[in-house]
Structure 1
Amino acid sequence: MRTHRSHRATGVLGLVLAAVVALPATASAADPWNGDFADFPGDSWSQRWGVVDDGRFGFDRMSGQDGAVDVFYGRGSSAPSCDDCPSEGGGQFYSDFTAAGRGDLAEARSLRLTYQAKFPSDWDFGKGGKLPGLYGGAPGEAGGGNHGQAWSTRFMWRNDEGSGARSADGEVYVYDPSMGDGYGEDVGRGAWQWQADDQWHTVAQTVDRDTGRIVVSIDGQQVLDEQGIERIAEIPFAGIFFSTFFGGHATEWGPSRDVHAQFRDFEVTTP
């Protein structure tokens, strides 16, 4: 009898172990989320990214190319709100971690967004422009001069004027609930320069909701570490704010000719 019970117990244990192994893997914040632009802007791509309807524009100026996305910016273009621009440029959408099946990332205390960007050698930086970053809260409540219980940390390039001017100064363009009105705040302006050399460059930002700390690295080298954002501890990560255009809201921000830039290999991880 003892031997019989032993065999039965072993059999039951085997069934339990088999069932556990057969369970589908559940993503956790320790697992990276990766996004490319295969099938852009099709339904499968949209579902993988968890793209929301609010705040989208410029998909007719964006095209998928071998997993990357090429973005067109017309001469003198700026934000969609521009009244005097001779052409249009750039594109934008909000992703949602929860809609993409990664609610664990939304609840993380700190996240790192990494992607690659390429500016061709004939790129014209104009006066300045936006690049993708992270955001929290409702889409549209932390950008374009709109403020709410939300935040965003898009990158920007800036073209300084005057003596000692440098083209393509990098910064993090921050919106957070501590700002009463107006537009965003420049954090770390000039800590690095964007390169127009027709090469892929890896950019990364880490945002800590508890401390407000923002860390930036370019091609693996840390270039910024600053407590640059406030009052976001209770506002979960929402997703990626893919936002790129010249501006500002006037044609003076735009390039002197039509230009293109490319983006690829998006990844979100816990640092």
Structure 2
Amino acid sequence: MSSSTSIPFPSATQSNSDTQSFILSDWGLSKGRIQNGASDLQFVSDPFPNDTTPGASSDPVASGPVLQVTYPSGSFSHDTGGAQLYSLWNTSDSSTLLSMMVSYEVAFDSGFDWVQGGKLPGLRGGPNPDGCSGGSNATDGSDCFSTRLMWRKNGEGEIYAYMPTTNGLCKDSDIICNSDFGTSIDRGAFSFASGQWNRITLLVQLNNPIDVANGFVALYYNDVHAISQQNLQLRSSNAVTAGGLYLSTFFGGSDSSWATPETTHTYFRNFRLWGSTSPSNLTGSKVSAAVRLGGLDSPLQRAWSCLIALAVALSTACLL
């Protein structure tokens, strides 16, 4: 990667109001705002100061304040708990980045109840800073993409992406598609541990050209390779580039069956980003115009199927 940056943290713990002020002034937020959950953010002392650096057998790493995210009891969405913000890349080449990597460490309270699952930070891009999340139907890749992580039952991990599901991607055994929500990539390839630090490194390389499914994502857990997925169409427009850190974390989930039964927390530290103007150079199949509308499982594709079926039915009726 040709350039890198890091997300600044304060040198001392802060109150919630000071935490909000620090993030608003120093994190380069999209639209200058914390999208959700500002009251659930606070810089606190490291809850696991004696834990060694994830992925390394070494002495405990010296740690300053870490970012605590609170999930209130009964919360199950970004509207009811956790937090969501979009920290934009802050270098001169930010509008032309076509590959990006993020690394960070996350810790969960000891005895963390995973329930059904929840979202964790990742990367996003495109001119639409609010789409490609929140169950806003399957994206067609024309104005955004997002690649967050999720924890699932028992702490199972995955990459959770909003992107077109092109060229039969949903038939892949490592892919779980949902036409109204995101796409799960390699669920259960690794598992998070509570009561200690976990290191995540996520690489996203956008497809190029835009009508070829040669995009690529990879994930390392505690510096061990866990997930690789090729043949992706992460974008269908040149307007979509890699934008920055998508710090999006909450239980859920679209209903109360995902809710945390008690108030609990995650903690984050050492957010670092690397970027490149070079996209994926892997080979891939050209995407047909029909599939590029949103994928075989998208609401738009289903609508076209229904219209075709209706037209066939009407034609048949007229011939009788």
TM-score normalized by the length of structure 2 = 0.65
Instruction: Report matched runs for 1:183-262 at 5 Å.
Output: 183-196=181-194, 198-210=195-207, 211-227=214-230, 229-232=232-235, 234=238, 235-262=240-267
Q: Aligned AA for 1:32?
A: S
8 Å Cα contact 2:8/2:26 also seen in 1 = no
| Partner in structure 2 of residue 143 of structure 1 | 133
Residues 68 and 106 (structure 1 numbering): CA distance in 2 closer, same or farther, change over 3 Å?
Answer: farther
1:252 alignment partner, SS class: helix
8 Å Cα contact 1:145/1:181 also seen in 2 = no
Q: Aligned AA for 2:84?
A: Q
User: Does 171-180 or 120-129 show the bigger shift?
Assistant: 171-180
Deviations 1:69-116 (A, max 9, x none): 1011112211145xxxxxx3201111122xxx3242442232110001
Give the Cα–Cα distance (whole angstroms) in 1 for the partners of residues 20 and 125 of structure 2.
23
Give the Cα–Cα distance (whole angstroms) in 1 for the partners of residues 105 and 81 of structure 2.
20
Percentage of identical aligned residues? 28
2:35 alignment partner, SS class: coil
Residues 231 and 270 (structure 1 numbering): CA distance in 2 closer, same or farther, change over 3 Å?
Answer: closer
Deviations 1:143-193 (A, max 9, x none): 01224521000000111xxxxxxx111011110145895111111111100
Stretches of 4+ moved more than 4 A in 1? 177-181
| Partner in structure 1 of residue 88 of structure 2 | 96
Unaligned stretches of 5+ residues in structure 1: 1-28, 82-87, 160-166
Residues 55 and 178 (structure 1 numbering): CA distance in 2 closer, same or farther, change over 3 Å?
Answer: farther
Q: 1:56 aligns with which of 35, 41, 45?
A: 35
Matched, 1:74 2:72: yes
8 Å Cα contact 1:36/1:67 also seen in 2 = no
Give the Cα–Cα distance (whole angstroms) in 1 for the partners of residues 223 and 95 of structure 2.
25
| Partner in structure 1 of residue 285 of structure 2 | none
Deviations 1:23-71 (A, max 9, x none): xxxxxx63321013326322x5434321124671111011012442101
Residues 36 and 229 (structure 1 numbering): CA distance in 2 closer, same or farther, change over 3 Å?
Answer: farther
Unaligned stretches of 5+ residues in structure 2: 11-17, 45-63, 167-177, 208-213, 277-320
8 Å Cα contact 1:114/1:203 also seen in 2 = yes
Highest CA radius of gyration, 1 or 2? 1
8 Å Cα contact 2:78/2:84 also seen in 1 = no
| Partner in structure 1 of residue 116 of structure 2 | 127
2:26 alignment partner, SS class: helix
8 Å Cα contact 1:55/1:140 also seen in 2 = no
Give the Cα–Cα distance (whole angstroms) in 2 for the partners of residues 258 and 139 of structure 1.
29
| Partner in structure 2 of residue 263 of structure 1 | 268
**Matched residue count:** 225
Q: Aligned AA for 2:272?
A: E
Matched, 1:111 2:114: no
Q: Aligned AA for 2:2?
A: A
Give the Cα–Cα distance (whole angstroms) in 1 for the partners of residues 217 and 267 of structure 2.
24
Cα drift, residue 239 of structure 1: 1.4
Residues 136 and 221 (structure 1 numbering): CA distance in 2 closer, same or farther, change over 3 Å?
Answer: same
Residues 262 and 203 (structure 1 numbering): CA distance in 2 closer, same or farther, change over 3 Å?
Answer: same
Cα drift, residue 142 of structure 1: 0.5
Residues 45 and 91 (structure 1 numbering): CA distance in 2 closer, same or farther, change over 3 Å?
Answer: closer
8 Å Cα contact 2:123/2:147 also seen in 1 = yes
Q: Aligned AA for 1:60?
A: S
1:173 alignment partner, SS class: strand
